[in-house]
């Protein structure tokens, strides 16, 4: 193959991989995860009231567990609803 032919093949794929951002809570200036802060926890809950998975939230495993625990505690003391109303 000629070099020019290889370049044409590479241009046709159109697939570009985006770089993943790190965990938002691993930074030095990150907020703490507390069950007493329902506004912050609502970001990690879907419209249906489900907890957002790690691949969507972008949190590391350690902080995803902390988010899950905080959401469950907030639900138990009625700071967050178990399900969202339609």
Tens digits of per-residue pLDDT, 49-61?
A: 999 999 999 999 9
Residue 5 has pLDDT above 60, yes or no: no
The angle subtended at Cα 34 by Cα 30 and Cα 35, nearest 5°, is 150
Position of tokens 């995860």? 33
Q: Residue 53's pLDDT is what? A: 96
3-state secondary structure of 80: coil
Q: Residue 7's pLDDT is what? A: 54
Domain boundaries, the chain: 6-76
Handedness of CA 60, 25, 74, 76 (dihedral sign): positive
Pick the CATH number of 6-76 from 4.10.640.10, 2.60.40.1120, 2.60.40.1080, 3.40.50.2300: 4.10.640.10
Q: Give percent of the chain with pLDDT exceeding 70.
A: 80
């Amino acid at each position: 193959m000629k070099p020019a032919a290889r370049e044409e093949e590479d241009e046709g794929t159109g697939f570009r991989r985006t770089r993943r951002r790190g965990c938002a809570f691993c930074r030095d200036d990150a907020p703490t995860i507390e069950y007493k802060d329902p506004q912050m926890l609502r970001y990690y809950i879907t419209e249906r009231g489900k907890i957002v998975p790690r691949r969507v939230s972008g949190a590391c495993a350690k902080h995803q567990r902390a988010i899950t625990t905080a959401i469950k505690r907030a639900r138990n003391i009625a700071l967050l609803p178990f399900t969202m109303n339609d």
